[in-house]
């Protein structure tokens, strides 16, 4: 009985792991206008490679700007929180 209970608990926790992930891929067209405007203001002629919503607080956007890839973290209001260069 203890083994069955432990197995059920382990499977339940394992199944819940994806629900705990904050980053949810989104279509770049669904980014708030303030986010896309900030990207255009700071990185003119950029190309969005990937966009993710990180909970309700932030968007992570991978862009190609000139010859480099950047991951830009922004608030829904378009405020830049962080910029990281990617390989």
Q: What is the DSSP string of 63-77?
A: EEETTEEEEEEE-TT
Residues 6+ apart with CB under 8 A from 10: none
DSSP state of 26: -
Q: For residue 17, what pLDDT is reported?
A: 46
Q: For residue 9, what pLDDT is reported?
A: 52
Could you tell me how far CA 6 lies from the centroid of its own chain?
A: 34
| 10-residue mean pLDDT series, the chain (87 residues) | 55 50 90 98 98 93 97 97 95
DSSP state of 28: G
Q: For residue 22, what pLDDT is reported?
A: 75
Q: For residue 18, what pLDDT is reported?
A: 47
Residues 6+ apart with CB under 8 A from 37: 78
């Amino acid at each position: 009985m203890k083994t069955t209970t432990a197995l059920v608990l382990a499977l339940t926790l394992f199944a819940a792991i994806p629900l705990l992930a904050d980053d949810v891929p989104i279509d770049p067209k669904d980014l708030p206008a303030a986010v896309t405007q900030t990207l255009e203001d700071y990185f003119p002629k950029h190309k969005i490679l990937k966009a993710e919503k990180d909970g309700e607080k932030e968007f992570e956007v991978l862009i190609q700007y000139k010859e480099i890839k950047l991951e830009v973290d922004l608030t829904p209001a378009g405020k830049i929180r962080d910029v990281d260069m990617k390989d």
